[in-house]
Structure 1
C-alpha cells in the first residue's frame, strides 16, 4: 500500500459517520470510577489497620519476650580451685 492509497483509506474512514455512543456512557463511567475509588480507599484503610495491628502485636511480643537479652546459660561453669 503506497502513500496515496493510505491517504485515501484514511479519508474514507474519517468521512464515515461516527459510531453511535450509548446515551448513558458518561454516567456509567462516573459510577464505575466512583466504585473503584471507594474500593481503593477501603483496601488502603484495611492495609493500614493490618499494619497497625502487626506493629502492636510485635510490640507486645517484644515487651514480654525481651528478644534483645542474652538467654541464660544452660550449663554451670566448671568449679576449679577447691
Structure 2
C-alpha cells in the first residue's frame, strides 16, 4: 500500500458518518469516572498517611537509637586511680 492509497483510505474513513453513541453511555462514563476519582483520592490519602507514619517511626527510632553518636569503646576498660 503506497502513500496515495493510504491517504485515500484515511479520507474514506474520515468521510464516513460516525456510528451513533448509545444514550446511556454518558451516565455510565460519569459513574465510572467518579468511582475512579474516589479510588485515586483514597489511594493518595493512604499513601500520605503511610508516608507520615513512616516518618514518625523513623524519627522515634532515630531519637532512641541515636545512630550519629559514636558507641562507647569496648576494647579498653577505663583506668581510674592515677
Whether TM exceeds 0.5 here: the answer is: yes
User: In the TM superposition, what is the alpha-carbon distance from 1:58 to its structure 2 partner?
Assistant: 0.4
**Equivalent position SS for 2:40:** helix
Deviations 1:41-64 (A, max 9, x none): 001000000001001100110111
Report how far residue 20 of structure 1 moved. Answer: 2.4
* 1:10 and 2:11 are equivalent in the alignment: yes
* Regions of 4+ moved over 6 Å: none
Residue 12 of structure 1 deviates from its aligned partner by 7.8
State the match for 1:52 in structure 2: 52
Deviation at 1:11, TM superposition (A): 5.5
1:62-73 equivalences under 5 Å are 62-73=62-73
May I ask how many residue pairs the two structures share in their alignment? 76
Closer, same or farther: CA 58–29 of 1 in aligned 2, 3 Å: same
Alpha carbon RMSD of aligned pairs, Å? 2.8
Gaps of 5+ in 2: none
Q: Which structure's CA Rg is the greater one?
A: 1
